[in-house]
Amino acid sequence: MPSTRTANRPSKLLDGAVGVTTPRSVNEIFEVLRDAVVSQRLSPGVQLKEQPLASAFGVNRAAIRQVLAKLANCKLAVHRLNRGVFVASPSREEAVSIFHARRVVETAIIELAVERMDAHGLRELRTIIAQEQAGYLSGKLREASKLSVQFHRTLAQKAGNSVLEQFLEEIVARTPLVVLSFNVTDNLGCEGGEHAKIVDAIEARDAALAVRLLHEHLGHLENKLAFDEHLQPDELERAIFHSLGSAND
């Protein structure tokens, strides 16, 4: 039984996140963990223990504590008194709220993007789409999924409203938790050219079409989820299997 005192290795959770250098700042650790959620490397219900995280990132527990406070503030984690913080397990109601809110926020973003998009932004978006498609074709689903998220993020950025951009970021970060809680088919985001069509509509300044395409796009994602079959009870099992810091191999 290995003691958790000795600096346990960076714990595969961070494999695809950051190279080797240990980040120091609270914000960097926060973004790494949020990225771990977005990339589905952190599953709902997993406990985020302080000492293992501190060892993994090479910082003190106090710093981790601030990170966990921020994660809980974003609703990406829940804090149980004297028990620790756990990755959030969205309920069915939260899930539908998240998807509805996403329609609201991203619709507004699209409408702004149609007004303000410039040639540089269009190029940037199409570059991301190309990389995303290449990722799907080469079988790199993780990377492609991340690029899909990056597409929506960049779109929000080009809309030029920092508040809506932040809201979309929060929604996008919580969506993977919903997918992991309710999805059965593990392939998500593998739509054929829907992003490209949206960009075309934006370039044509056709707001109505762009919004319609977006709604169809989001609808496809929602339809992949099985809201009836709730695999919530598995929460604890997943938690112990993905338990951070118990890597004994």
What is the C-alpha to C-alpha distance for residues 182 and 92, in angstroms, rounded to an integer?
9
CB 143 within 8 A of CB 134: no
Q: Which does 73 bind (CB under 5 to 8 A by kind): a copy of itself, DNA, none?
A: a copy of itself
> Which residue, chain included where needed, has tokens 């970021």?
169
Helices within 17-90 (DSSP H only): 26-38, 50-57, 61-73
Given a copy of itself, DNA, none, residue 204, with its beta carbon under 5 to 8 Å by kind, binds none
**Residues of this chain that bind a copy of itself (CB under 8 A):** 26, 62, 65-67, 69-70, 73-75, 93-94, 97-98, 100-101, 104-105, 108, 161-164, 166-167, 171
Answer yes or no whether residue 9 interacts with DNA by CB under 7 A. Answer: no
Residues linked to residue 85 through DSSP beta bridges, in sequence order: 48, 79
Q: Does 163 bind DNA (CB under 7 A)?
A: no
CA quadruple 192, 208, 225, 240: dihedral sign: positive
Q: Environment class of residue 82 by beta-carbon count within 10 Å: exposed (0-12), middle (13-18) or buried (19+)?
A: exposed
What is the closest distance, in whole angstroms, from the C-beta atom of residue 142 to a copy of itself in the complex?
A: 26
63 binds DNA (CB under 7 A): yes
Helix-strand-coil split of the chain, %, nearest 5: 60, 5, 35
51 contacts which partner out of a copy of itself, DNA, none, CB within 5 to 8 A by kind?
Answer: DNA
Q: Which is nearer to a copy of itself, 93 or 249 (CB)?
A: 93
Closest contact distance (angstroms) between CB of 3 and a copy of itself is 25
Q: Least distance in Å: CB of 25 to a copy of itself? A: 8
**Residues interacting with DNA, by CB under 7 A?**
1, 3-4, 24-26, 47-51, 59-63, 65, 79, 81-85, 245
